[in-house]
Amino acid sequence: MSFAFDLFIWLMVETILGFFIYSTGCTILKIVTFGKFKCDITDYVSFKANKAKNVYLICVLGFSFYVLLIGFVAYMSH
């Protein structure tokens, strides 16, 4: 029972973080391209349905933004 619950929680966290990171990547691309980039996925339900689509580069961009943000905060607080 515990293994099934842990697996369920992990899948929910992974999906929510994936959507959050993808949304950040889309926002950065919209800012950089001055609004010309169009996101195919606009809400959580369509993200979950189209997760198999090749969205890895946008997720990498969103993830790298948060890594750089954490690094910047750590540098400034030192």
Number of domains in the chain: 1
Give the pLDDT confidence score for residue 76 in this predicted structure: 92
Give the pLDDT confidence score for residue 22 in this predicted structure: 81
Give the pLDDT confidence score for residue 71 in this predicted structure: 93
Number of Cα atoms under 13 Å in the Cβ half of residue 77: 6
Give the pLDDT confidence score for residue 50 in this predicted structure: 64
Give the pLDDT confidence score for residue 49 in this predicted structure: 65
Residue 55: give the domain boundaries.
2-77
Alpha carbons 78 and 68: distance in angstroms, whole number: 15
- Encode the chain (78 residues) as per-residue pLDDT tens digits: 687 888 888 888 888 888 888 888 888 888 888 877 777 766 666 666 666 566 777 778 888 999 999 999 999 997
Task: Provide the token pair at 25.
Answer: 């990547």
